[in-house]
Amino acid sequence: MPSPSTPPPWTGSPETAGGGLGGPPAGARTRIKICGLTREADVDAAVAAGADALGFVLWPGSARHVTPERAALLAGRLPPFVTPVLLFVNASAGEVRRAVDLAPLALLQFHGDETPAQCAAARRPYLRAARMAPDIDLLDFAARFQGAQALLLDAHVAGYGGAGKVFDWSRIPASVPCPLVLSGGLNPANVTDGVRRVRPWAVDVSSGVEQSPGIKDAGLMRRFCQAVREADPSLTA
pLDDT in tens, 195-227: 999 999 999 999 999 999 999 999 999 999 999
Q: Would you please indicate which residues are annotated as catalytic (active-site) residues?
A: 35, 154
201: left (phi over 0), alpha (psi -120 to 50) or beta: alpha
pLDDT single digits (tens) 90-133:
999 999 999 999 999 999 999 999 999 999 999 999 999 999 98
Q: Give the pLDDT mean for 76-80.
A: 97
pLDDT at 236: 64
3-state SS class at 72:
helix
- Using the Cα atoms of residue 225, residue 228, residue 232 and residue 233 in order, give the sign of their dihedral: positive
Name the pLDDT band for 6 (thresholds 50, 70, 90).
very low
On average, the pLDDT of the chain sits at: 89
Q: What is the number of other CB atoms lying within 10 angstroms of the CB of residue 213?
A: 14
Pairing type for strands 150-155 and 83-88 reads unpaired
Question: Taking the C-alpha atoms of 184, 187, 190 and 196 in order, what is their torsion angle to the nearest 10 degrees?
Answer: 70
- pLDDT higher than 50, residue 12: no
More confident residue, 200 or 4: 200
